[in-house]
Chain A
Amino acid sequence: MEIKLTKDRKLTLGGKRRKRRGKLDITGVDLVPVEGKGCPAVRIVEKKGVLRLLAAGYVPAPSDPVPDSWEAAAKSCTWAFPTQFQSPAAALAVSSPDVFVAQTTLSALKSDISSGTHNKQESAASAGSRRIGLRREPRPAAQQATPSAPSDIAEPKPGVPVSNGGMRFVMRPLDGSDGFILEAGLPEYQALWYSRLLPEGRRPTAVSIQPRQAAIASCPVLQKAFSEAGGDVLALFADTGHFSIAGYKGGSMVLLRECRVGGGMSSIAEKLKKGLGLDDEMLSSALDDNLIDPRPVLDPLVAPIIDELSASKDYLSGKLGCEPKAVIVSGVDVGFSHWSSFCEERMRLKMARLDVFEGLLGVPPQCAGDFLVATGAALAVIGEEEAS
């Protein structure tokens, strides 16, 4: 609120967001539950630049599944957290077939909006040629929710979500990325469902709804290898079903894309087991203890991924003038040494394993890999608060 004191002077009261004072206490939650355990959650407290891990564990999943229609979303569902996770704020990392993260340009985005093809599933494929990164799957048309103001849609502001045509989306520029933006979106009814999951008046309440793919991209920033490389790194996120590659220049993310080859770690593991004739138990000891040489079988599986990394490295150095000095990998729990040596041979880059809880004071739990997304979600909010 502005009050005009004199002709030249005015006083601004309030504002969109108050300056945070004191500590930031946030719980990051991955809404994709781990089978038999629940949704991974971490509670991190940031005070005067020091990050402390207060709790890490599993929260029972919400009683209702993520809705896939307006009718299903109309039924409200509330979620209660255990005491150790009852921080004031919570960052939710969401995933569904309707959630997308895509790297594109602002002009392409505006063009899509103005032509009315932004939210139409038929144009998803045709628009894909101008998008680099994660492919957005076409989805059925969603019902209209409360649309945002036309000016907001025509000129979307960085970090400000807008609703249009039944979808809610948000964009952020990728600094130093030669005009690219990162766009994320999900159906409006799902956004409303997630926003009502944590009710008012009870701890925690939601301060962030992020796609999982974007949340994990915040994890590498605390790694030692990240700071040693001066923030010029590539990150490889290996998931069961796919790989993602993120590029960082000077600490800021400039690239995020899905790696279409490889099929995910579970696919590679299956092929390894088949190729080496080993079961799960033997596979990890065979690879990690160097009992056998897996390279004849492993290299063809890893090579495409390393090639993708190499292509991203070339993109960073060629287009953005950034020479990555390290590769940070997460999700490669088995045979990491082989991956690392392969990467050094082909790319002349050191590969470092991403320690989920590196940079956080406190006792990390076991199965740290389960908490990658939750930690990333929390760090994304903390990082944005610090920057503001």
Chain B
Amino acid sequence: MMTKTCHLNLLMDSERVSSSPVRLRIMLPTAAILVSVSMAIWWLILTGQDILAKTQMSNLRDDMERHQAENAKAIADAEMADELQSQLEQLEGYGESCKRRWSETLASLAEVMPLKVQLTKFEIPAPPPQVLSFVTVQKGKKRTVKLWGPTNKTESVSMVIAGRTPKETPVISLMESLEGDAFTNSIVIAKDPRNPNPSPKVRSFRQDIPQRGEGSRMLAFEIEYTAKERRFAK
């Protein structure tokens, strides 16, 4: 290792220059100028883009204003079209529900009615009243919510035949006839004992008070059939 030397250096620190071709005193100002120029150019570009965006926006706004009336009419028409379509959908559903031919059922029933059976009642009961509201609990408070219409698109229908007969056989014959093809479109036969709603369901089958001119024994029956449900949809 060297000992200390006595270095008499007549070169001032400010005169020492770098041998690197990359001179900081050139590069730094150049870089600073370039950065400034870049910032200025960037700003100009951004300003140009901003002006362009605003011009385009203005053009679009003008075009929309020009077409405002037409557009309003088009929107109104579209809304009307949707409205009419919705109405039609609802009414078509109703129209579907009107396609049941009960006259045919009545006529067919008349044909299959045994002679020994005296029909005392033929009924298609009215559907139960509609419940168009329900109570809901929200945040601990009960609220009644009203509905514009039933949520179910079907209505159940039933058919009740009541009559009098001297014996069971004609009734059985009638019931067998009602299971025939003539009534396939109107009534539902569901005889499975596990079915909660069997069809037919004999409501009553009892002895009846005979009337003047009749024999001593008369049986009164009432049988309910489940009819094909009314559908309110196409």
Contacts and interface: CB of A to CB of B under 8 A. Distances in A.
B110 interface: no
A58 B207 CA distance: 149
Majority DSSP secondary structure for residues of A touching B: mixed
A208 B18 CA distance: 13
For chain A, give the interface size range.
35 or more
Contact of B5 (A171, A174, A191, A383): A383
B4 A252 contact: yes
A111 B90 CA distance: 120
B7 interface: yes
Nearest to B15: A195
B11 to A, nearest CB: 4
Interface in B6-31: 6-13, 15-21, 23
Contact of B10 (A168, A199, A201, A222): A168
A338 to B, nearest CB: 31
A382 interface: yes
Contacts of B12: 161, 163, 168, 195
Majority DSSP secondary structure for residues of B touching A: loop
Contacts of A186: 10
A183 B23 CA distance: 33
Given A195-B15, A201-B20, A203-B19, A208 B3 contact: no
B16 A206 contact: yes
A110 B18 CA distance: 34
B3 A252 contact: yes
- Give the most central of B2, B10, B17: most A CB within 10 Å: B10
A386 B10 contact: no
Contacts of A133: none
B131 interface: no
Interface in A256-281: 256
A253 B6 contact: yes
B1 interface: yes
B2 A221 contact: yes
Given A201-B21, A202-B19, A386 B2 contact: yes
Nearest to B17: A200
A194 B21 CA distance: 20
A205 interface: yes
Given A382-B2, A386-B2, A207 B8 contact: no
Interface residues of B, number: 21
A89 B19 contact: yes
A256 B12 CA distance: 23
B11 A195 contact: yes
A172 interface: yes
A387 interface: yes
Interface in A159-217: 159, 161, 163, 168-172, 174-175, 182-186, 191-192, 194-195, 199-211, 214, 217
A383 B15 CA distance: 21
A214 B3 CA distance: 16
Given A200-B18, A201-B21, A206-B16, A161 B5 contact: no
Interface string A219-258: 0011000000001000000000000000000011100100
A383 B20 contact: no
B8 A210 contact: yes
Contacts of B21: 201-202
Contact of B8 (A175, A211, A252): A211
A172 B1 contact: no
Contact of B17 (A51, A182, A205, A387): A205
B7 A221 contact: no
Given A16-B13, A382-B2, A172 B7 contact: yes
Nearest to B6: A253
B2 A379 contact: yes
Contact of B16 (A175, A205, A383): A205
Contacts of A201: 17-21, 23
A112 B152 CA distance: 121
Contacts of B4: 175, 251-252, 383-384, 387
A46 B49 CA distance: 59
Nearest to A219: B5
Contacts of B6: 172, 174, 182, 214, 217-218, 252-253, 256, 380
A256 B1 CA distance: 23
Interface in A16-48: 16
8 contacts: A169-B10, A194-B11, A207-B9, A208-B7, A210-B9, A211-B10, A218-B6, A251-B4
Interface of B: 1-13, 15-21, 23
Given A200-B17, A201-B18, A208-B11, 13 more contacts: A49-B2, A172-B6, A172-B7, A184-B8, A186-B10, A194-B11, A200-B18, A201-B19, A206-B15, A206-B16, A207-B16, A382-B5, A384-B7
The 6 A-B pairs with the shortest beta carbon distances in the complex, nearest first, are: A383-B5, A251-B3, A200-B17, A195-B15, A184-B8, A384-B7
